[in-house]
Structure 1
Amino acid sequence: MNKLMTQLNTRLAQLKQRPLALALLAAFALSTGGIMLYSGPSTAADDKDKKSAPTPALTVTTTRPQGASLPLRLTANGNVAAWQEASIGSESNGLRLTEVRVNVGDVVKKGEVLAVFSADTVNADVAQAKAALAEAQANAAEAQANAKRARAVQASGALSEQQVTQYLTAEQTANARIESARAALAAQQLRLKYTQVVAPDAGVISARSATVGAVVGAGTELFRMIRQGRLEWRAEVTAAELKSIRVGSQATVRAANGSELTGKVRTIAPTVDPQTRSALVYVDLPPDLRSNAPFKAGMFASGQFDLGASNALTLPQQAVVVRDGFPYVFRLNADSRVSQLKVQTGRRLGDRIEIVSGVTGDMPVVLNGAGFLNDGDLVKAVAAPAAAAPGAPRQAQK
């Protein structure tokens, strides 16, 4: 009986607690549904907005074309040659070469002795010519004395007219023999002078064929010399380019070894090669008598003629992108998208390139990041950093 009463009391307590639990459950469900009704639609709208907003492909800086005065230059190629090359030969015939004093590359002065021939034979001939002159002078003295006496007695008739004429003729013949002997002596002395080969001008020895002990004939070439060490650049230009070159224009010549010289146009060839349709322009280079001069005759060299300057639109080199062999720039449009434009480039000055066509002076062009863009990309443009003033100290990077 007691056990039955205990179960009944427990059941009544559970019935009393059920409405409270149901009420709590209903309140929790109501609050949760309200939260879902409040937060659910807002979160979906935000996700939709995030998905619809495009993302910029890159952050870039822009610039605009700037006007600049660029030099006008004409590029050409050609050979370096001697301004004038002198051929130095022997003026003596049948003499033995005893001494050679210079070699290829030596710098010589005008009148300097380059080689010496044996003078023994010539000295003997000079002595013989001197003796012949002395004999002619002695004979002339006797003839003059006879002619003087003949003139003195010519009026008295002591001598016939024929004898007087003979004495006077003998005097004239003796004087003529003196002149002949003097000429022969001068010729031998000239031969003696020619035993020394001297430089006709200052310059650099470019070739030598003289050999000690050789017996050479008159006119045989012994040395070749570049007169005054002067070289010239013989540039080849087309007939259409000749009109822009003037005598006196400056030209910068660059050799294959990297050396550079600045010269002036001396003259322009009066004819054009009918085969190549090109003409020669002769550019005088500064003389250099050093044996280790950077420019040598026979070198191939390229150069540029300075033809003045002209105005042009320029862009920094990093703003021009080369794709498929053609240059392009990217224009920034009002909708923050870029358009790829094909341009034509021209001259270069430092890190700037002339833009011949394809852009205008007020067009915004992508500067940094142009190489990573494609046509139609969305970008974010930011201000370019201010350029440091020339000579301003740089801050240390952390």
Structure 2
Amino acid sequence: MEKKKFTPGVVGAIVTAVVVVAIIVFVALKPRSEDESKKGTVKPALTVTVTQPQRVAMPITLAANGNIAAWQEAIVGAEASGLRVAQVLVNVGDRVKQGQVLATLAGDTVRAEAAQSRATLAEAEAAAADAVNNAQRARTLEGTGALSTSQINQYLTAEKTAQAKVEAARAAVALQVARVSQSEVRAPDNGIISSRTATVGAVLNGGAELFRLIRGGRLEWRAEVTSTEIGKLTTGTTALVTAASGARLSGRVRTIGPTVDPQSRAALVYVDLTPLPANPGTTGNALAGMFARGEFDLGTASALTVPQSAIAIREGFSYVFRVEPDNRVTQVKVQTGRMAGERLEITSGLAADARVVASGAGFLNDGDLVRISEGAKPAGAKAASAAAKAAPAASAAKR
């Protein structure tokens, strides 16, 4: 079979056709130019508002955990021994006043003994009066020789002995009166009954515990603070405490423990508590023995902040999206700190003059083109101003 041979003209035509086709394909697949992007060929990913970080005064707090306990717990016991409990007048949880009768003891025996001692006193007083009269007559006859010196001395000695017996009888009466009064167990102070072991019919030994009393009904929070942070607190520092029941209390540091636990490396801080007015979202009361969390108010300090809505949490890290001059966003990793209202402190990673996306950060990716909404900056400035005014007010409210 005879092979076809192409002439130089045919080969040139084929090469020309291939070049033309290549040019057409290149033009069709050519990337969009920057001018075409500026003309709107590339659409923005999102319309956003922007803001700048603002410096506001934010409260400085120190968080701690601890237990609520009674300020002081008085033990009320029986002074009299061998008496039977006749009546118990109070129960656990009752509020009592100083001197109020908590329980009565069967005092028939001590009352009878008190009557007997009063009779003995009367007898001693009568004998003493007779002895005084005899001694007085002996003194008048002392220089006449009607009585010997020894007889006169006997009368004078009998007078002193009778007077001594009167004093002894009076002391016995006072003792029996005291025992009668001990048949009524009284509250040593105002407070709340926290424990009761008194039982009707029980015969008591001297000093037996009958009740425990929270003096004044006062509670304290014993906060555990690490040795590295204990230096930030002083006597009088205010605190806001929330009990496990939801009850909220204000407190003030009364004293700081003089030692640090070598195991936990924490010291106890004793905080006097005062109940706050009940809030709609809180229930329950603060009780001794209850766990509680709290924050100590250490004042305020200036901080660089952004709205919370500007933060995007990804893979456990915090990011903001900085808006570049060409309206594209750059994802910036930041470190966050305190929070006040709707503002969050930025401790590192962001310049104070940066423009960041104020809301919608969670829908953006690094390098996205965005459209800037009008009026974004004034909105951010107003929010920062409001947070700056709210922070000192919140700190003052804690005090």
Q: Which runs of 5+ in 2 are unaligned?
A: 1-23, 277-282, 384-399
Percent sequence identity is: 57
Query: How many angstroms does 1:204 deviate by?
Result: 0.5
Aligned twin of 2:394: none
Question: 2:208 and 2:345 mapped to 1: Cα distance?
Answer: 59
> Is this contact kept in 2: 1:62–1:383, CA < 8 A?
no
Q: By how many angstroms is 1:270 displaced?
A: 1.3
Corresponding residue to 2:82 among 72, 75, 94: 94
Measure the CA separation in 1 of the matches of 2:284 and 2:119: 53
Secondary structure in 1 aligned to 2:217?
Answer: coil
188, 195, 213: which one aligns with 2:201 = 213
Aligned to 1:306: 297
Select the residue among 61, 72, 97 that pairs with 2:60. Answer: 72
Give the corresponding residue for 1:259: 247
Provide the TM-score with structure 1 as the length reference: 0.82
Relative to the length of structure 2, the TM-score reads 0.82
How far is the alpha carbon of 1:163 from its aligned partner?
1.2
**Among candidates 321, 336, 339, match of residue 348 of structure 1:** 339
1:293 to partner: Cα distance: 7.2
Q: CA deviation at 1:286?
A: 2.0
Cα separation, 1, equivalents of 2:224 and 2:63: 10
State the partner residue of 1:19. none
Aligned equivalents of 2:32, 2:350: Cα separation in 1: 37
Which one-letter code corresponds to 2:183 in the other structure? T
Select the residue among 274, 283, 290 that pairs with 1:286: 274
Paired residues of 1:80 and 1:231 also in contact (CA < 8 A): yes
- Asked if the contact 1:231/1:287 (under 8 Å) is kept, the reply is no
Mapped partners of 1:254, 1:57: distance in 2: 45
1:277 corresponding residue in structure 2: 265
Larger radius of gyration: 1
CA distance in 1, matches of 2:242, 2:272: 14
1:270-299 Cα shifts (integer Å, max 9, x gaps): 1111221111111111279xxx97111101
Q: 1:108 to 1:293 in 2, by over 3 A?
A: farther
Partner of 1:109: 97
Aligned to 1:144: 132
| Counterpart pick for 2:221 among 216, 233, 237 | 233
Report what 1:361 is aligned to.
Answer: 352
**2:369 pairs with 378, 381, 390, which one?**
378
**Of the candidates 119, 122, 125, which is equivalent to residue 134 of structure 1?**
122
Q: Which of residues 211, 214, 222 in structure 1 aligns to 2:210?
A: 222
Q: Which residue of 2 aligns with 1:36?
A: none
The verdict on how the C-alpha distance between 1:189 and 1:370 changes in structure 2, with shifts beyond 3 A counting, is same
1:198 maps to 2:186: yes
Please say if 1:328 is aligned against 2:316: no
Report if aligned partners of 2:248, 2:275 keep a CA contact under 8 Å in 1: no
2:175 equivalent in structure 1? 187
CA distance in 2, matches of 1:293, 1:187: 48
Q: How many angstroms apart in 2 are the aligned matches of 1:76 and 1:341?
A: 32
**Aligned residue in 2 for 1:59:** 47
CA–CA distance in structure 1, aligned partners of residues 56 and 145 of structure 2 = 109
SS of residue matched to 1:87: strand
- SS at the partner of 1:154? coil
Q: Which residue pairs with 2:389 in the alignment?
A: none
Give, in angstroms, the shift of residue 384 of structure 1. Answer: 4.6
How many residues were matched structurally? 345
> Residue 239 of structure 2 contacts residue 295 of structure 2 at CA under 8 Å; is this kept in 1?
yes
Secondary structure in 1 aligned to 2:368? coil
Kept in 2: contact 1:80–1:234 (CA 8 A): yes
The superposition leaves residues 327-355 of structure 1 with CA deviations (integer Å, 9 ceiling, x where unpaired) of: 11111112222111111100001111000
Secondary structure in structure 2 of the residue aligned to 1:95: coil
- Kept in 2: contact 1:229–1:287 (CA 8 A): no
